[in-house]
Chains A and B, each alone.
Chain A
Amino acid sequence: MTKKFICIRCPKGCEITTTLDGSGVITEITGNNCKLGIDYVKAELSDPRRTLTTTVEVIEGELPLCPVWTESPIPKDKIKELADALRAIKITAPVKINQIVLENALGTGVNVVAEREINKHSTLAD
């Protein structure tokens, strides 16, 4: 049996064809331009993961939202659930880059961290 994949590990997007034997063991991988492609296909077949990027609300911030992301990819089927969980979270400014917003998100062992700094809203008029 063969399965086709488009690798998402870099912007190239290699088209990779994988041949599997009767018990699902990979016998051949073709079309990848580098090792990342092999890792990707193996992960897609056993434990597909994705990075989640979303926003959380900021209290007293210069901006109402802070962009956040999972420090490393999490199981693909948890993406929507984590996005929903993060919608309920509020953090208080000032926010530091890479500050942990949610530790061990949904028990995945992966932290959700801030993508940028957000200063406290200035109370003085301009």
Chain B
Amino acid sequence: MALTYDVIIIGAGPAGLAAAIEAKKTGAQRVLIIERNNEPGGILTQCIHNGFGSVIFKKDLPGPSYAHNFITQAREVEIEMLFDTMVIDITPNRSIYATSKNGFMEFQAGAIVLAMGCRERTRSQIRIPGTRPAGVFTAGMVQRMVNIENLMPGKNFVILGSGDIGMIMARRLTLEGANVIKVVELMPYLTGLRRNYVQCLQDFNIPLELSTTIKTINGNNRVESVETLKVDESLKQIPGTEQIIPCDSVLLSVGLIPENELSKKAGVILDPLTGGPEVDEKMATNIPGIFAAGNAVTIYDLVDYVSEAGFTAGRNAALFASGNTISPADTIKILPGENVRTVVPQAINKQLSGNQVLIELRVTKDFPSPVKIELTDGDNVVLAFREKYARPAEMITLKINPELFMEKTAGISGALKVRAL
């Protein structure tokens, strides 16, 4: 027999914990989180560095402490949590099937929040040629080995990708006695936050080479060397710039992909640009009663914003479960326009309630000087914002008053485009 809950959340990471707490506070009676790991916290448990919490707690916290605050709150409001349990299927009418060492389980949810987080892009996804020796790792995998499992996977590292996890692991490995030879980055710019360049690379004299990639990985049983080379502005390899670097390990920090195998099974429509579900400002997907939040929707820079998306999804999931929801009004589609790579949400309801509308976007190129972010309807500029700068590595959040949004978009029937100029 199916176990019945008002709201079921898939994943006990930052998005799922926030969603559960807010669902309960909004009035959902029975709230359950199903988690594959043996404890809550998600990826935060291995992110032992500080830099979390500046928005939500107005404090600088390490990942495990940030998670601890949410775990404590979840226990206080009596969120049920199932660990070592893996959801294997979700249906559009909100049945959930899971397995654990206790066997097969069936659940029925009034509403569901998808909070599965993301996965790391691997070597095969970026197709680095060469042999296939041991010693090629994703950065997050090494982070888990070093910070949780007490394992040191190598001595001499080359890191591909200047994402935050890559830079943070460069520092971590150095502090644990490894030699990080260099970080190479394909793009002509840093892909992670600049403060991490300062405190993780510069402080430890670890060189960063931009517009550089790994041409081949060499070695029989274990990595013996990598061959790097320069690329031009169009990312084409420049012959003659090859360099052989002896090393025993390669760390990949080459991007994250929202995890949505379950979303697909439930019939949730994914945005090919973000890799996550298409959502509206309530974090509702196209399937009634199925909501999504966090890195499963789009890759965030800061965990604080993941938690905030979790709050929104949890609140609206609880309202849906209680039948207390505004019938779906017309929506306005929000599409990326000129110089914009991704936009979340992908649609905004024409009928809005009290909460501020957030539009989160990423630009495609560096804008070092003031930049205009505009919402346009054809040639018409509907709303305009000004940012001091814009970088592909940093998500831009537009906060819009709901009344203003409704006033400005009244009469718009099609889609709004977001552009950066």
Contact = CB atoms under 8 A, between A and B. Distances in A.
Interface in A86-126: 87, 97, 115-117, 126
Nearest to B55: A11
Contacts of A9: 195
B48 A115 contact: yes
Contacts of A7: 195
Contacts of B62: 53, 67, 69, 115
A8 B49 CA distance: 14
A57 B68 contact: no
Given A54-B48, A83-B175, A63 B148 contact: yes
Contact of A80 (B175, B195, B197): B175
B51 A117 contact: no
Contacts, number: 79
Interface residues of B, number: 32
B190 to A, nearest CB: 10
B172 to A, nearest CB: 8
Interface string A1-36: 000001111110101000000000000000001000
B302 interface: yes
Contacts of B302: 11
Interface in B2-54: 45, 48-51, 54
A33 B199 contact: no
A33 B50 contact: no
Given A83-B175, A97-B68, A115-B64, A55 B48 contact: yes
A13 B148 CA distance: 29
Contacts of B49: 53
A51 B197 CA distance: 15
Contacts of A78: none
A116 B193 contact: no
Given A115-B62, A116-B45, A8 B198 contact: yes
Nearest to A33: B388
Given A116-B45, A116-B65, A51 B193 contact: no
A35 B281 CA distance: 33
Nearest to B62: A115
A104 B60 CA distance: 20
B150 interface: yes
B312 to A, nearest CB: 21
A96 to B, nearest CB: 10
A55 B199 contact: no
B65 to A, nearest CB: 5
A69 B45 CA distance: 14
Contact of A11 (B54, B65, B197): B54
Interface string B187-221: 00000011101110001000000000000000000
A6 B192 CA distance: 14
Given A50-B203, A115-B48, A11 B195 contact: yes
Interface string A38-78: 00000000000011111101000001110101000000100
Nearest to B72: A97
B357 to A, nearest CB: 22
A13 to B, nearest CB: 3
Contacts of B67: 116
A13 B51 CA distance: 12
B147 A65 contact: yes
A67 B54 contact: no
Contacts of A50: 199, 203
20 contacts: A6-B197, A8-B195, A8-B198, A11-B54, A13-B193, A13-B195, A50-B199, A54-B175, A63-B148, A64-B148, A64-B149, A69-B62, A83-B175, A83-B176, A97-B65, A115-B62, A115-B63, A115-B68, A117-B68, A126-B101
Given A11-B51, A69-B62, A115-B64, 11 more contacts: A8-B195, A9-B195, A10-B195, A11-B195, A33-B388, A52-B175, A57-B150, A65-B147, A67-B48, A67-B64, A115-B63
Interface of A: 6-11, 13, 15, 33, 50-55, 57, 63-65, 67, 69, 76, 79-80, 83, 87, 97, 115-117, 126
